[in-house]
Amino acid sequence: TPHSAKPDWHARARALTIDGRAWIDGQRVDAASGATFDKHSPVDGRRLAAVARGEAEDVDRAVRSARSAFEDGRWSRKAPAARKRILLRWSELITAARDELALLETLDMGKPIQYALGVDVAATARTIAWYGEAIDKVYDEIAPTGSNALALITREAMGVIGCIVPWNYPMIMAAWKLGPALATGNSVVMKPSERSPLTALKLAELAVQAGIPPGVFNVVPGYGHEAGEALALHMDVDAIGFTGSTRTGRRMLDYASRSNLKRVWNELGGKSAFLVFPDHQDPALAARTVAGAMYFNQGESCNAPSRVLVHASIADDFVAVLREEAPKYRPGDPLDASTVMGALVDEAQLRTVMGYIESGRAEGARCIVGGEQARTGSGGPYVEPTLFDGVTPQMKIAREEIFGPVLSVLRFQDEAEAVALANGTDYGLQASVWSHDINRAHRVARALRAGTVHVNQYDEDDITVPFGGYRQSGNGRDKSLHALEKYTELKTTWLRI
């Protein structure tokens, strides 16, 4: 009806005022140096904000604020049920601000507005609420010791958690850290990606409105080698919750070893395999599923199933379905509510992705869909959904994380080869097995070296299960009650009775 006209996201974008200052001690502040960096939108190139360029001095100020909040107990010593009420209010405020948050996310990193709203904001609100709901239902333990004493095993908040997050799901990655870290009573200093700093700042504003005391959640935007390094090296930070590339994750361990041996929780890259066996009854469904999961978020997902391993006997038919399916994800204007693929985060990412596409061609893979920069109205970093057939395991596109909409098809002859191929990278984030032979499905799922294995599906939208990787995809797990372990210390207390 005329009254339910769709929102005009372009008009809203023009009307939006964006504050790029840092959040320290419950207030907006400029960087101590007064420095800023310009954040441009990949959607249309426009300058969104001058963002505070935090450095060591700003990080130190935020850590001191976080420490004093932790020590005075204004959050850390509240009853869990009291923290719960505030987290639930925060979640409600996030939902109430959904249009603004979604718009900021889309303008900042280029994803389609319908997913920013329906996936990113929704998952962020749900994550905060879930940890709020959980935290007054978690009990500690008494050990079954044989002596005349009670041994209590309790979990205590660590103190100050540094969170360093990437740009591909800025809000969700922030929420996966904030939910468990704050619910358990810690204070947080967050360093969002310089490529997408805006929604974290808005989340901090809403947190204070919800009643999270000043100093408990601080956001210092800035560059990795400045604010990020200062946070990871800080002597008064107890743990780093990091999500990002394997390369930077390696540095996190180095920073910890050079400073105070803070705990480092790394959630890193992936090159997830999607295995299709000839005993699956609906290979076309498998093809549609892998295309949907691969091209979602412009292929900028750590768990993108970027390698399809297909049994040679069904590979030609499978590829024929993919060839029909992939072009449906053609990029469009991210602010148009019907767009399914948006812009890559920036021109640098465009060059990286185009470089991988060139390498695939140069190494002899056949590019059968896409392979080009997309022609959209605004120019900008848009890439066609791309499909390579005839990929072999030694090729760069089969081994390295591309972080763009590029899907590679490899063929296998038998189950052992499929498993060896799947496990044949440095990563181990996720995998998917498509088979209707129950024994095979279990056997292969067990043999795969990955933190999550999907059987006959590829969904990843449930906060109740752990998320994380084997090997160089990281350690620790985000989501679920297991994430509470990352931000708490285990204490044993002996009581003579």
The residues binding ligand NAD (CB under 6 A) are 164-169, 173, 191, 193-194, 224-225, 228-229, 232, 243-245, 248, 251, 267-270, 302, 401, 403, 429, 467, 469, 473-474, 478
Q: Which is nearer to ligand NAD, 213 or 474 (CB)?
A: 474
Q: Which is nearer to ligand NAD, 219 or 319 (CB)?
A: 219
Calpha distance 184→394 (Å, rounded): 45
Question: Least Å distance between CB 21 and ligand NAD?
Answer: 18
Q: Which is nearer to ligand NAD, 112 or 269 (CB)?
A: 269
- Using the structure block, give the residue that is written with the tokens 């072999």: 392
Beta strands at 273-276 and 149-157: parallel, antiparallel or unpaired: unpaired
Give the DSSP per-residue string, 325-378.
Answer: HGGGG-B--TTSTT-SB---S-HHHHHHHHHHHHHHHHTT-EEEE--SB---TT
> If we measure between CA atoms, which residue out of 70, 65, 58 comes closest to residue 228?
58
Task: Give the active site residue among 55, 105, 302, 384.
Answer: 302
Question: Least Å distance between CB 68 and ligand NAD?
Answer: 24
Clarify whether 267 is annotated catalytic. Answer: yes
Instruction: State the CB neighbour count (10 A cutoff) for residue 56.
Output: 16
DSSP 213: P
Task: Give the active site residue among 55, 194, 229, 267.
Answer: 267
Q: Which is nearer to ligand NAD, 184 or 297 (CB)?
A: 297
Question: Least Å distance between CB 392 and ligand NAD?
Answer: 23
Q: Which is nearer to ligand NAD, 31 or 319 (CB)?
A: 31
Beta bridge partners of 410: 309
Clarify whether 302 is annotated catalytic. Answer: yes
The dihedral over CA atoms of 368, 374, 376, 381, expressed in degrees to the nearest 10, equals 150
**C-alpha angle 470-471-474 in degrees, rounded to nearest 5:** 70
Side chain identity, residue 261: L
475: three-class secondary structure by DSSP: coil
Residues 6+ apart with CB under 8 A from 456: 280, 433, 434, 435, 436, 441
307: three-class secondary structure by DSSP: strand
* Alpha-carbon distances of 433 from 281, 309, 405, rounded to whole Å: 13, 10, 21
Calpha distance 278→259 (Å, rounded): 53
Question: Least Å distance between CB 426 and ligand NAD?
Answer: 12
Give the DSSP per-residue string, 231-258.
Answer: HHH-TT--EEEEES-HHHHHHHHHHHHH
Q: Which is nearer to ligand NAD, 363 or 400 (CB)?
A: 400
Q: Which is nearer to ligand NAD, 224 or 278 (CB)?
A: 224
Question: Least Å distance between CB 337 and ligand NAD?
Answer: 25
Residue 406: φ, ψ to 5°: -125, 115
411: three-class secondary structure by DSSP: strand
Using an 8 Å Cβ cutoff, are 124 and 83 in contact? no
Using an 8 Å Cβ cutoff, are 67 and 237 in contact? no
Question: Least Å distance between CB 268 and ligand NAD?
Answer: 5
Q: Which is nearer to ligand NAD, 213 or 249 (CB)?
A: 249
Helix axes 198-210, 170-183, angle to 10 degrees: 30
Active site residues: 267, 302
